[in-house]
Amino acid sequence: MTRQKILVFRELPPDQLARLQAEHDVTVANPRVPDQVPAFYASLATAEGMIGSSFQVDAALLASAPHLKVISSVSVGVDNYALAALAERGVMLCHTPGVLTETTADTIFALIMASSRRLVELSNHVREGRWTRNIDTDLFGWDVHGKTLGILGFGRIGQALARRAALGFGMPVLFHNRSAVNVAQDVPDLLGKVASVAMDDLFQRADIIAVVLPLSDATRGLIGAREFALMKPGAIFVNGARGAIVQEPALLHALNHGTLRAAGLDVFATEPLPQNSPLRTHPKVTALPHIGSATHETRYAMAEMATSNLLHALSGKVPLAVFSGQKE
Protein backbone atom coordinates (compact mmCIF):
# COMPACT_ATOMS: atom_id res chain seq x y z
CA MET A 1 0.00 0.00 0.00
CA THR A 2 1.34 3.45 -0.82
CA ARG A 3 2.28 5.64 2.07
CA GLN A 4 0.12 8.72 2.30
CA LYS A 5 0.63 12.04 4.07
CA ILE A 6 -1.09 12.51 7.41
CA LEU A 7 -1.29 15.65 9.51
CA VAL A 8 -1.84 14.98 13.23
CA PHE A 9 -3.15 18.22 14.72
CA ARG A 10 -3.39 17.25 18.36
CA GLU A 11 -1.43 14.95 20.62
CA LEU A 12 -2.17 11.23 20.25
CA PRO A 13 -1.13 8.40 22.59
CA PRO A 14 2.30 7.14 21.43
CA ASP A 15 1.02 3.69 20.42
CA GLN A 16 -1.70 5.23 18.25
CA LEU A 17 0.78 7.61 16.63
CA ALA A 18 3.01 4.58 15.96
CA ARG A 19 0.12 2.82 14.16
CA LEU A 20 -0.12 5.78 11.80
CA GLN A 21 3.66 6.04 11.35
CA ALA A 22 3.93 2.35 10.48
CA GLU A 23 1.79 2.86 7.38
CA HIS A 24 2.07 6.52 6.43
CA ASP A 25 4.22 9.67 6.48
CA VAL A 26 3.12 11.59 9.53
CA THR A 27 3.60 15.23 10.52
CA VAL A 28 2.59 16.19 14.03
CA ALA A 29 1.80 19.91 14.26
CA ASN A 30 -0.63 21.38 16.74
CA PRO A 31 -1.97 24.72 15.47
CA ARG A 32 -2.78 25.78 19.04
CA VAL A 33 0.92 25.70 19.94
CA PRO A 34 2.47 28.91 18.52
CA ASP A 35 5.77 27.43 17.35
CA GLN A 36 4.00 24.57 15.56
CA VAL A 37 1.71 26.84 13.51
CA PRO A 38 4.08 27.17 10.49
CA ALA A 39 4.52 23.37 10.27
CA PHE A 40 0.76 22.90 10.52
CA TYR A 41 0.03 25.20 7.59
CA ALA A 42 2.96 23.87 5.56
CA SER A 43 1.79 20.27 5.86
CA LEU A 44 -1.81 21.17 5.00
CA ALA A 45 -0.60 21.71 1.45
CA THR A 46 0.21 18.01 1.04
CA ALA A 47 -1.98 16.28 3.66
CA GLU A 48 -4.25 13.49 2.44
CA GLY A 49 -5.53 12.67 5.90
CA MET A 50 -5.89 14.69 9.11
CA ILE A 51 -6.56 13.58 12.67
CA GLY A 52 -7.19 15.75 15.71
CA SER A 53 -9.83 17.85 17.44
CA SER A 54 -10.71 21.16 19.10
CA PHE A 55 -9.68 23.28 16.14
CA GLN A 56 -11.87 25.11 13.66
CA VAL A 57 -11.51 23.56 10.23
CA ASP A 58 -13.29 26.10 8.09
CA ALA A 59 -13.71 26.49 4.33
CA ALA A 60 -10.59 28.70 4.03
CA LEU A 61 -8.45 26.14 5.82
CA LEU A 62 -9.83 23.38 3.59
CA ALA A 63 -8.91 25.44 0.56
CA SER A 64 -5.27 25.22 1.67
CA ALA A 65 -5.50 21.41 1.78
CA PRO A 66 -6.09 20.49 -1.87
CA HIS A 67 -5.16 16.79 -1.48
CA LEU A 68 -7.24 16.11 1.61
CA LYS A 69 -9.42 12.97 1.44
CA VAL A 70 -10.38 12.35 5.05
CA ILE A 71 -10.51 14.09 8.42
CA SER A 72 -10.73 11.89 11.48
CA SER A 73 -11.98 13.88 14.45
CA VAL A 74 -11.12 12.71 17.97
CA SER A 75 -14.55 13.83 19.13
CA VAL A 76 -18.17 12.94 18.65
CA GLY A 77 -19.17 16.59 18.03
CA VAL A 78 -18.43 17.87 14.54
CA ASP A 79 -19.31 21.53 15.02
CA ASN A 80 -15.68 22.54 14.37
CA TYR A 81 -15.87 21.40 10.76
CA ALA A 82 -17.28 23.24 7.74
CA LEU A 83 -19.67 20.45 6.83
CA ALA A 84 -20.96 22.00 3.60
CA ALA A 85 -17.43 22.64 2.31
CA LEU A 86 -16.39 19.08 3.22
CA ALA A 87 -19.39 17.65 1.39
CA GLU A 88 -18.73 19.84 -1.64
CA ARG A 89 -15.09 18.73 -1.76
CA GLY A 90 -16.00 15.09 -1.11
CA VAL A 91 -13.78 14.97 1.99
CA MET A 92 -14.88 12.21 4.37
CA LEU A 93 -15.41 13.15 8.03
CA CYS A 94 -15.07 10.45 10.70
CA HIS A 95 -15.79 10.86 14.41
CA THR A 96 -15.98 8.87 17.66
CA PRO A 97 -19.56 8.21 18.79
CA GLY A 98 -20.29 5.49 21.33
CA VAL A 99 -16.99 5.22 23.17
CA LEU A 100 -17.57 8.41 25.17
CA THR A 101 -21.27 8.01 25.92
CA GLU A 102 -21.10 6.70 29.48
CA THR A 103 -18.24 8.97 30.55
CA THR A 104 -19.99 12.07 29.26
CA ALA A 105 -23.24 11.04 30.95
CA ASP A 106 -21.24 10.60 34.19
CA THR A 107 -19.90 14.15 33.85
CA ILE A 108 -23.33 15.63 33.26
CA PHE A 109 -24.80 13.73 36.18
CA ALA A 110 -21.91 14.91 38.34
CA LEU A 111 -22.78 18.49 37.37
CA ILE A 112 -26.39 17.86 38.35
CA MET A 113 -25.26 16.57 41.75
CA ALA A 114 -22.69 19.33 42.24
CA SER A 115 -25.15 22.10 41.35
CA SER A 116 -28.00 20.73 43.45
CA ARG A 117 -25.97 19.84 46.52
CA ARG A 118 -23.56 22.78 46.15
CA LEU A 119 -20.61 20.42 46.32
CA VAL A 120 -17.90 22.73 45.02
CA GLU A 121 -19.06 25.67 47.08
CA LEU A 122 -19.21 23.57 50.25
CA SER A 123 -15.91 21.88 49.56
CA ASN A 124 -14.38 25.35 49.31
CA HIS A 125 -16.09 26.20 52.60
CA VAL A 126 -14.04 23.45 54.24
CA ARG A 127 -10.85 24.11 52.28
CA GLU A 128 -10.88 27.80 53.11
CA GLY A 129 -11.28 27.20 56.85
CA ARG A 130 -14.83 28.53 57.09
CA TRP A 131 -16.24 25.33 58.64
CA THR A 132 -16.10 26.57 62.18
CA ARG A 133 -19.60 25.45 63.22
CA ASN A 134 -22.40 23.34 61.76
CA ILE A 135 -23.65 24.78 58.51
CA ASP A 136 -26.87 26.73 58.59
CA THR A 137 -29.89 26.54 56.30
CA ASP A 138 -28.34 29.16 54.00
CA LEU A 139 -25.88 26.49 52.86
CA PHE A 140 -28.33 23.63 52.49
CA GLY A 141 -28.70 22.02 49.08
CA TRP A 142 -31.59 20.62 47.09
CA ASP A 143 -32.41 16.93 46.69
CA VAL A 144 -31.70 15.33 43.34
CA HIS A 145 -33.53 12.02 43.83
CA GLY A 146 -37.18 12.28 42.92
CA LYS A 147 -36.80 15.55 40.99
CA THR A 148 -38.04 15.70 37.41
CA LEU A 149 -35.17 15.77 34.93
CA GLY A 150 -35.74 17.32 31.49
CA ILE A 151 -33.27 16.17 28.85
CA LEU A 152 -32.95 18.21 25.70
CA GLY A 153 -31.58 15.83 23.06
CA PHE A 154 -32.23 12.12 23.46
CA GLY A 155 -29.40 10.48 21.56
CA ARG A 156 -26.88 8.09 23.11
CA ILE A 157 -25.69 10.49 25.82
CA GLY A 158 -29.19 11.73 26.64
CA GLN A 159 -30.36 8.15 27.02
CA ALA A 160 -27.39 7.22 29.21
CA LEU A 161 -28.17 10.24 31.38
CA ALA A 162 -31.82 9.18 31.59
CA ARG A 163 -30.72 5.73 32.84
CA ARG A 164 -28.71 7.26 35.65
CA ALA A 165 -31.60 9.51 36.63
CA ALA A 166 -34.54 7.14 36.24
CA LEU A 167 -32.98 3.86 37.31
CA GLY A 168 -30.49 5.16 39.87
CA PHE A 169 -32.17 8.19 41.40
CA GLY A 170 -35.89 7.52 40.91
CA MET A 171 -36.27 10.66 38.83
CA PRO A 172 -39.15 11.04 36.39
CA VAL A 173 -37.53 11.92 33.05
CA LEU A 174 -38.97 14.11 30.33
CA PHE A 175 -37.12 14.41 27.06
CA HIS A 176 -37.33 16.34 23.84
CA ASN A 177 -35.72 15.15 20.66
CA ARG A 178 -36.13 16.61 17.19
CA SER A 179 -36.53 13.22 15.56
CA ALA A 180 -38.93 10.66 17.00
CA VAL A 181 -37.55 8.16 19.52
CA ASN A 182 -39.28 4.81 19.89
CA VAL A 183 -38.71 4.16 23.59
CA ALA A 184 -40.00 0.55 23.47
CA GLN A 185 -37.64 -0.29 20.64
CA ASP A 186 -34.61 1.96 21.22
CA VAL A 187 -34.43 2.10 25.03
CA PRO A 188 -36.73 -0.65 26.35
CA ASP A 189 -35.16 -0.50 29.82
CA LEU A 190 -36.59 3.03 30.13
CA LEU A 191 -40.10 2.16 29.02
CA GLY A 192 -42.59 3.75 31.40
CA LYS A 193 -39.86 5.83 33.03
CA VAL A 194 -39.33 8.52 30.37
CA ALA A 195 -41.79 10.62 28.40
CA SER A 196 -41.33 12.61 25.23
CA VAL A 197 -42.69 16.17 25.50
CA ALA A 198 -42.69 19.39 23.48
CA MET A 199 -39.68 21.59 24.18
CA ASP A 200 -41.67 24.31 25.97
CA ASP A 201 -43.34 21.66 28.15
CA LEU A 202 -39.93 20.38 29.14
CA PHE A 203 -38.83 23.86 30.24
CA GLN A 204 -42.06 24.37 32.19
CA ARG A 205 -42.20 20.99 33.92
CA ALA A 206 -38.61 19.96 34.68
CA ASP A 207 -36.87 20.76 37.97
CA ILE A 208 -33.49 20.14 36.39
CA ILE A 209 -32.85 20.75 32.70
CA ALA A 210 -29.86 19.16 30.96
CA VAL A 211 -28.77 20.09 27.44
CA VAL A 212 -27.29 17.19 25.45
CA LEU A 213 -27.84 18.48 21.91
CA PRO A 214 -25.30 18.73 19.11
CA LEU A 215 -24.39 22.25 18.02
CA SER A 216 -25.72 22.99 14.54
CA ASP A 217 -27.42 25.87 12.74
CA ALA A 218 -30.68 24.56 14.22
CA THR A 219 -29.48 24.64 17.83
CA ARG A 220 -27.14 27.66 17.94
CA GLY A 221 -28.58 30.16 20.45
CA LEU A 222 -31.61 27.89 21.00
CA ILE A 223 -31.91 28.71 24.69
CA GLY A 224 -32.42 32.38 25.41
CA ALA A 225 -34.45 34.74 27.58
CA ARG A 226 -37.79 33.26 26.51
CA GLU A 227 -36.72 29.72 27.43
CA PHE A 228 -35.22 30.74 30.79
CA ALA A 229 -38.44 32.61 31.59
CA LEU A 230 -40.42 29.41 30.96
CA MET A 231 -38.39 27.40 33.48
CA LYS A 232 -39.81 26.62 36.92
CA PRO A 233 -38.81 28.96 39.73
CA GLY A 234 -35.78 27.36 41.39
CA ALA A 235 -34.88 25.18 38.41
CA ILE A 236 -31.32 24.04 37.76
CA PHE A 237 -29.80 24.35 34.30
CA VAL A 238 -26.98 22.07 33.13
CA ASN A 239 -25.12 22.24 29.83
CA GLY A 240 -22.89 19.31 28.86
CA ALA A 241 -23.16 19.80 25.10
CA ARG A 242 -21.86 23.00 23.50
CA GLY A 243 -21.80 26.51 24.96
CA ALA A 244 -23.14 28.22 21.84
CA ILE A 245 -26.50 26.44 22.20
CA VAL A 246 -27.16 28.84 25.07
CA GLN A 247 -27.29 32.62 24.88
CA GLU A 248 -24.91 33.34 27.74
CA PRO A 249 -26.19 36.88 28.47
CA ALA A 250 -29.69 35.41 28.90
CA LEU A 251 -28.31 32.72 31.21
CA LEU A 252 -26.55 35.35 33.29
CA HIS A 253 -29.71 37.42 33.46
CA ALA A 254 -31.68 34.37 34.61
CA LEU A 255 -29.08 33.71 37.33
CA ASN A 256 -28.88 37.32 38.47
CA HIS A 257 -32.44 38.55 38.08
CA GLY A 258 -34.56 35.48 37.34
CA THR A 259 -35.42 32.50 39.45
CA LEU A 260 -32.80 30.02 38.27
CA ARG A 261 -31.33 28.27 41.32
CA ALA A 262 -28.00 27.30 39.78
CA ALA A 263 -26.22 26.33 36.59
CA GLY A 264 -23.74 23.53 35.96
CA LEU A 265 -21.66 24.23 32.87
CA ASP A 266 -19.04 22.06 31.20
CA VAL A 267 -19.08 24.09 27.99
CA PHE A 268 -19.01 27.76 27.04
CA ALA A 269 -19.49 29.90 23.96
CA THR A 270 -15.77 30.72 24.06
CA GLU A 271 -13.31 28.12 25.32
CA PRO A 272 -11.15 28.33 27.31
CA LEU A 273 -13.56 30.53 29.26
CA PRO A 274 -12.22 34.11 29.12
CA GLN A 275 -10.83 35.39 32.42
CA ASN A 276 -13.34 38.25 32.42
CA SER A 277 -16.42 36.06 31.90
CA PRO A 278 -18.88 36.66 34.76
CA LEU A 279 -19.74 32.95 34.58
CA ARG A 280 -16.24 32.04 35.77
CA THR A 281 -16.74 33.19 39.35
CA HIS A 282 -20.52 33.40 39.56
CA PRO A 283 -21.64 32.04 42.96
CA LYS A 284 -24.48 30.07 41.40
CA VAL A 285 -22.35 28.48 38.68
CA THR A 286 -20.37 25.24 38.84
CA ALA A 287 -18.03 25.56 35.88
CA LEU A 288 -15.86 22.82 34.40
CA PRO A 289 -13.22 23.11 31.65
CA HIS A 290 -15.01 20.99 29.00
CA ILE A 291 -14.23 17.63 30.58
CA GLY A 292 -17.24 15.63 29.32
CA SER A 293 -15.14 12.78 27.95
CA ALA A 294 -11.88 13.57 29.75
CA THR A 295 -10.93 10.35 31.52
CA HIS A 296 -7.81 8.32 30.76
CA GLU A 297 -9.85 5.38 29.54
CA THR A 298 -12.25 7.28 27.34
CA ARG A 299 -9.78 9.68 25.78
CA TYR A 300 -7.62 6.67 24.90
CA ALA A 301 -10.62 4.85 23.40
CA MET A 302 -11.46 7.94 21.35
CA ALA A 303 -7.89 8.25 20.05
CA GLU A 304 -7.83 4.56 19.18
CA MET A 305 -11.15 4.75 17.34
CA ALA A 306 -10.12 7.90 15.47
CA THR A 307 -6.82 6.26 14.46
CA SER A 308 -8.67 3.20 13.16
CA ASN A 309 -11.13 5.44 11.32
CA LEU A 310 -8.28 7.23 9.55
CA LEU A 311 -6.35 4.05 8.69
CA HIS A 312 -9.49 2.39 7.35
CA ALA A 313 -10.47 5.41 5.28
CA LEU A 314 -7.00 5.79 3.75
CA SER A 315 -6.85 2.10 2.83
CA GLY A 316 -10.29 2.12 1.25
CA LYS A 317 -11.97 0.18 4.07
CA VAL A 318 -15.17 1.32 5.72
CA PRO A 319 -14.29 3.35 8.86
CA LEU A 320 -15.93 2.57 12.19
CA ALA A 321 -17.88 5.85 12.18
CA VAL A 322 -18.33 8.21 9.28
CA PHE A 323 -20.30 11.33 10.13
CA SER A 324 -23.35 11.23 7.96
CA GLY A 325 -25.64 13.96 9.22
CA GLN A 326 -26.60 15.56 12.49
CA LYS A 327 -28.07 13.23 15.08
CA GLU A 328 -28.68 13.94 18.74
Q: Give min distance, CB of 214 to ligand DGY, in A.
A: 8
In this structure, are residues 107 and 292 in contact, taking their beta carbons and an 8 Å threshold?
yes
Instruction: Print burial letters for 251-262: b (CB count within 10 Å at least 16), e (below 16).
Output: bbbbbeebebbb
What phi and psi values does residue 308 have, to the nearest 5 degrees?
A: -60, -45
> Catalytic residue among 163, 205, 242, 261, which?
242
Minimal CA–CA distance to 290: which of 257, 316, 264, 322?
A: 264
Which SS3 state, helix, strand or coil, does residue 262 take?
strand
Closest residue to ligand DGY: CB criterion: 77
Q: Largest alpha-carbon pair distance within the chain?
A: 71
Q: Report the residue number, 31 or 207, with the smaller CB distance to ligand DGY.
A: 31
What element of type H or E holds 27? strand 25-28
- In the chain, the amino acid numbered 76 is V
In angstroms, the CA 153 to CA 327 distance is 9
Cis peptide before 38 (omega within 30 of 0): no
**3/25 Cα distance (integer angstroms):** 6
Sign of CA dihedral 6, 10, 14, 16: negative
State the residues that interact with ligand DGY by CB under 6 A: 53, 75-77, 100, 292-293
Q: How far apart are CA 30 and CA 52, in angstroms?
A: 9
- Structure letter (DSSP) for residue 274: P
Q: Is 67 an annotated catalytic residue?
A: no
- Determine contact, residues 161/292, Cβ cutoff 8 Å: no
Q: Please tell me whether residue 52 adopts helix, strand or coil conformation.
A: strand
Residues annotated catalytic, as ranges: 242, 271, 290
